[in-house]
C-alpha cells in the first residue's frame, strides 16, 4: 500500500476525508434547526420514529414536538398515550407502536396475566380504531421464576391475547431488554427475564402467530448478544419493530459509541424490513443536534 508524504496511507486519507465531510454535514443539519425548510431525512427508505419518553421533557408542548418530528423527517411519535394520537394525526404523524403494561410486569408470571391481558385488549382495540399497527409487551421480571417456567408461561399467556390481535390486525411486539447495565433505571433492567434475543424468539416460535413479533432493540441486543447484523438476517421474519441508542450509555448515535448504525440500517433494508425504527436514546447534549445526527445516520 502506497503512502502519502505525511505518512498517511490512501485509506487513512480517504477515511479522514469522509469522516470530516460527514461531521460537517451533520453539524450543518444540527445548527440549522431554525432555518431547515425540508426534512433532515430525505431518502425515506427507513421509516423513522421518535420515542416519546426520551424527548418529551425537552419539548413539553406536543404540537412543538410534532413539528420537530416533521422537520427531522420522522413519520411517528411512539409509545405515547392514545389521548395524544389525534394531535399526532393533525401533524400528519402516526404512533408506530403503542405502549401497554410496562416492562416490570409480563406474561412470565401467571399472577400478572389478568392485568396484562386487560391492558392489551383495550390497547389493541384502540390501535385498530385509530390505525396504529403495533403494541408493545414484555416478559416481565424473573422474581424467582426459572427461565424454563417463564418461557412456558409466556407462551401460554400470549396465546390468550394473540387471537384478539389477529382479529384486529394489530401486531404485538415482545421486547428483549438488557440486564447488564445497572447504572440507570432506563439503561438496563436487571432481573428482566427476556434478556436474550434467542430466548424471546423461541417464545414467538412456540406461539406461532404472524401477529406476534420481536421488538428488536439494537442497543439491548448489542449489550447482551452482539452480532447484530447477523441476527437481523437470522430473525428477519420475526422483526416487528426496531429501537436505537448508542452503546455504551444509551446516548446519542455519535462517534464515541460502538454501533455502526448506517450498516445496521442497510442490513434492515437487505432483509426487506418495512416497519419503523424508533430513536430511543437519552440525550446528553442539545436534543435537536443529537436527533438530527441520529436521523441522518439512519437515513440510508
- d(C-alpha 65, C-alpha 81), whole Å: 14
Handedness of CA 19, 21, 26, 27 (dihedral sign): positive
In sequence order, which residues have a C-beta less than 8 Å from that of residue 53 and are 6 or more positions away? 79
Backbone angles phi, psi at 134, to 5 degrees: -140, 155
Residue written as grid cell 427476556: 194
- d(C-alpha 67, C-alpha 277), whole Å: 19
Which residues participate in catalysis according to the annotation? Answer: 175, 280
Give a three-class secondary structure readout of the chain: CCECCCCCEHHHHHHHHHHHHHHHHHHHHHHCHHHCCCCCCCCCCCEEEEEHHHHCCCCCCHHHHHHHHHHHCCCEEECCCHHHHHHHHHCCCECCCECCCCCCCCCCCHHHHHHHHHHHHHHHHHHHHHCCCEEEECCCECCCCCHHHHHHHHHHHHHHHHHHHHHHCCEEEEECCCCCCCCCCCCCCCCECCCCHHHHHHHHHHHCCCCEEEEEEHHHHHHHCCCHHHHHHHCHHHEEEEEECECCCCECCCCCCCCCHHHHHHHHHHCCCCCEEEECCCCCCCHHHHHHHHHHHHCC
Amino acid at each position: 500500500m502506497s503512502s502519502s508524504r505525511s505518512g498517511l496511507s490512501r485509506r487513512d486519507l480517504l477515511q479522514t476525508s469522509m469522516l470530516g465531510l460527514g461531521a460537517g454535514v451533520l453539524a450543518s443539519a444540527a445548527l440549522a434547526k431554525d432555518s431547515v425548510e425540508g426534512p433532515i431525512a430525505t431518502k425515506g427508505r427507513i421509516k423513522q420514529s421518535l420515542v416519546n419518553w426520551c424527548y418529551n421533557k425537552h419539548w413539553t408542548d406536543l404540537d412543538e414536538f410534532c413539528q420537530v418530528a416533521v422537520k427531522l423527517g420522522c413519520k411517528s411519535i411512539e409509545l405515547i398515550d392514545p389521548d395524544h394520537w389525534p394531535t399526532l394525526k393533525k401533524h400528519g404523524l402516526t404512533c408506530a407502536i403503542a405502549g401497554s403494561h410496562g416492562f416490570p410486569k409480563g406474561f412470565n408470571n401467571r399472577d400478572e396475566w389478568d392485568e396484562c391481558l386487560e391492558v392489551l385488549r383495550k390497547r389493541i382495540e384502540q390501535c385498530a380504531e385509530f390505525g396504529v399497527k403495533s403494541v408493545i409487551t414484555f416478559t416481565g421480571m424473573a422474581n424467582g421464576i426459572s427461565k424454563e417456567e417463564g418461557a412456558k408461561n409466556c407462551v401460554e399467556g400470549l396465546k390468550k391475547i394473540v387471537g384478539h390481535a389477529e382479529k384486529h390486525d394489530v401486531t404485538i411486539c415482545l421486547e428483549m431488554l438488557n440486564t447488564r447495565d445497572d447504572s440507570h433505571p432506563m439503561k438496563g433492567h436487571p432481573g428482566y427475564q427476556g434478556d436474550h434475543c434467542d430466548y424471546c424468539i423461541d417464545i414467538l416460535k412456540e406461539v406461532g402467530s404472524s401477529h406476534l413479533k420481536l421488538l428488536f432493540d439494537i442497543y439491548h441486543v448489542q449489550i447482551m448478544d452482539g452480532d447484530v447484523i447477523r441476527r437481523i438476517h437470522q430473525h428477519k421474519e420475526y422483526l416487528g419493530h426496531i429501537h436505537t441508542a448508542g452503546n455504551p450509555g444509551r446516548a446519542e448515535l455519535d462517534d464515541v459509541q460502538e454501533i455502526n448504525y448506517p450498516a445496521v440500517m442497510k442490513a434492515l433494508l437487505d432483509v426487506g424490513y418495512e416497519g419503523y425504527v424508533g430513536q430511543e436514546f437519552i440525550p446528553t447534549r442539545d436534543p435537536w443536534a443529537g436527533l438530527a445526527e441520529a436521523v441522518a445516520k439512519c437515513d440510508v
